[in-house]
Amino acid sequence: MRVLVANRGEIALRVMRTARALGYGCVAVHAPGEGEAPHARAADLAVAVPSYLDGAAVIAAARATGAEMVHPGYGFLSENAGFARACAEAGLIFVGPPPEAIALMGDKGRAKAAAAAAGVPVLPGGGPEAAEAIGVPLMVKAAMGGGGKGMRLVTDLADLPEALDRAASEALKAFGDGSLIVEKALLNPRHIEVQVFGDRHGNVVHLGERDCSIQRRHQKVVEEAPSPAVDPALRARMGAAAVALARACGYVGAGTVEFLLEDGAFWFLEMNTRLQVEHPVTEAITGLDLVEWQFRVARGEPLPLAQEEITLSGHAIELRLYAEDPANGFLPQTGRVLAWRPGAGLRSDDALAPGQAIGAGFDPMLAKLIARGETREAARQALAEGLARTELLGLRTNLPFLRQVIEHPVFAAGEATTAFLTRDFTLAPPEADPALLALAVLVLAGAPAPRFGFSTGPSPRLTRRFDTASGPVAVSLLLEGTTATLEDGRRITLESRNDSHVRARIDGIARDLPHAREGATLHLGDLILTDITLAPAAAKDEGADGRILAPMAGSVVQVLVAEGARVEKGQTLAVLEAMKMEHPLRAPIAGRVTALMLTPGAQVRARQTLIEITPEES
């Protein structure tokens, strides 16, 4: 038996791991430029395709390599009913539900009607024309997709036209269909999902729930199982509702029924007709391999267990590691992986390797880090300890943010809702501690042999400037061999260093930090420092002087103004896309557009000047 995995990254490697354990050969497909990607190298055979969304090319690759099965992973073609149908017509086994179930649950309007018919509670909703009758707050959603794309929360109907425009544009790019629905929004619910499985013999079971309440931009960041808000009675009710819906639509394979939970009541949100990103936490508390179940069911076998044979044991928490900057609106980041070491004791589902380029063309998720414990607190502590030892250098990520989230008292108490990040949590960005800046000077100087134009006299006083996440900072110190002394008397000694770590003594306390260097930029622990001591004085920050810089690398989706146009502060002037999400560029001041240096479809670099606005004299 040979299986073609129609995906990339960590999920492709995850599927191949189980496929090999079952004795299957593995075929990968890869987009242009990804021939040496980890998933392509891991497969027995790898075939180039124009795009991961090109279903015809994927099927041709399966035929050419003798694959009998196609596993779509998640994303891309996994919830494409036409692709599932085309696989069947080509004589291939599609490892997923029937096309009819995908089509039904993929259309949010029809899915909602099916849920109501199955006795599952639903929220008021309809097409965009129903927005005024429903009232705010309301959620705009892509009718034919999910995953946070094509979603906008509207709390003022005056903002509805732009929300509809942006959501439709994202939905069209992500799912090939820009149609939308709206529904009443809950502002402080839990996001609870139930894992279901069906087979071709009429059996349907659930494997308990997952709590996915901590989200940014309507995308999950933290998932855990079981939910701290769900007791056995509620679990039975939600599980029965999920099974009823799956049974009603003739479901086969792995699926997830998502609910909003508030004050003990729950409402249907959507059904994902595929394996979820967060399936590892369910595996951790059931001891089951969900990908193996997928393969067995796809081959026509009955479910391995009946409902009464499925037991939940312990607690598991998963964190999604993203290439993004939480201190800057979670904007996607690009770069090159210089070092990657997941902490001991964690399950890491990833496809990362030193030297790997992280571009703007795919989803920004880099890895999933999972910990299990006999209790929720044991799992949280194991995760905290593993995260403290996790190292990813080369680009800005949400790793420091994740460490703060799991230590937050609201999360520790199991009380986080979907409002956690906006209501309870305040990000503490990594501080450029002068002691760490002094250590950076020692590392860059190659102590004990000073470089970079340092004076070589005894105890020279140096002032170095670094560009950091929070802006330029300066540190003044006395350098004496491997020891630096700050103006306040604090002493920092570089005791040892190798290619990956430095050991230093700061205020008498030994610290071991990962480091990597790329040009004038030093990655030291969570800090990214660029030596700008010899650089010319920087121009004023964009915004105050009317300049708009690209917040990240990406492509221009829309330009909404012309040169010479008068604009108001906060007005959307253009839209960028990076990693499948759209980001509006808004005017920092009122005035007239005097320079427009972008066109639709153009690729832009991070920090590239795109628009200049000159304030008009009153």
Q: What is the pTM of this model?
A: 0.86
Distance, CA of 263 to CA of 187 (rounded, Å):
13
Q: Quick one: 473 and 600 in the same domain?
A: no
pLDDT at 256: 99
176: pLDDT confidence band, cut at 50, 70 and 90?
confident
Distance, CA of 395 to CA of 524 (rounded, Å):
12
Q: Strand (E) positions, 394-519? A: 461-468, 471-480, 483-486, 491-497, 501-506, 509-518
In a domain, 355, yes or no: yes
Q: Quick one: 141 and 285 in the same domain?
A: no
Mean pLDDT of the chain: 93
For the segment 587-601, the average pLDDT, to the nearest whole number, is 92
Count CB-CB contacts under 10 A for residue 337. Answer: 19
Distance, CA of 367 to CA of 548 (rounded, Å):
32
Please say which residue of 424, 456, 476 terminates a domain: 424
pLDDT in tens, 213-225: 999 988 999 999 9
Residue 370, domain CATH = 3.30.470.20
Q: Quick one: 417 and 401 in the same domain?
A: yes
Q: What percent of the chain has pLDDT over 70?
A: 96
Q: Quick one: 256 and 381 in the same domain?
A: yes
pLDDT at 454: 46
Which residues partner with 324 through β-bridges? 332
CA-based R_g, the chain, Å: 26
pLDDT in tens, 411-465: 999 999 999 999 999 998 777 789 999 999 999 887 543 344 444 455 668 899 9
In a domain, 239, yes or no: yes
pLDDT at 544: 64
Token pair for 412: 């520790």
pLDDT at 500: 95
Sign of CA dihedral 113, 245, 142, 417: positive
Q: Which residues form the domain of 197?
A: 190-424
For the segment 253-275, the average pLDDT, to the nearest whole number, is 97
Please say which residue of 57, 79, 95 terminates a domain: 95
528: pLDDT confidence band, cut at 50, 70 and 90?
very high
Is the pLDDT score of 490 beyond 50?
A: yes
Counting the structural domains of the chain, the total is: 5
pLDDT in tens, 38-74: 999 999 999 999 999 999 999 999 999 999 999 999 9
**214: Cβ contacts below 8 Å, ≥ 6 apart:** 220, 221, 222, 405, 411, 416, 418, 420, 421
Q: Quick one: 239 and 321 in the same domain?
A: yes
Residue 506, domain CATH = 3.30.700
539: pLDDT confidence band, cut at 50, 70 and 90?
very low
Q: Quick one: 449 and 519 in the same domain?
A: yes
535: pLDDT confidence band, cut at 50, 70 and 90?
confident
301: pLDDT confidence band, cut at 50, 70 and 90?
very high
pLDDT at 452: 43
For the segment 548-560, the average pLDDT, to the nearest whole number, is 89
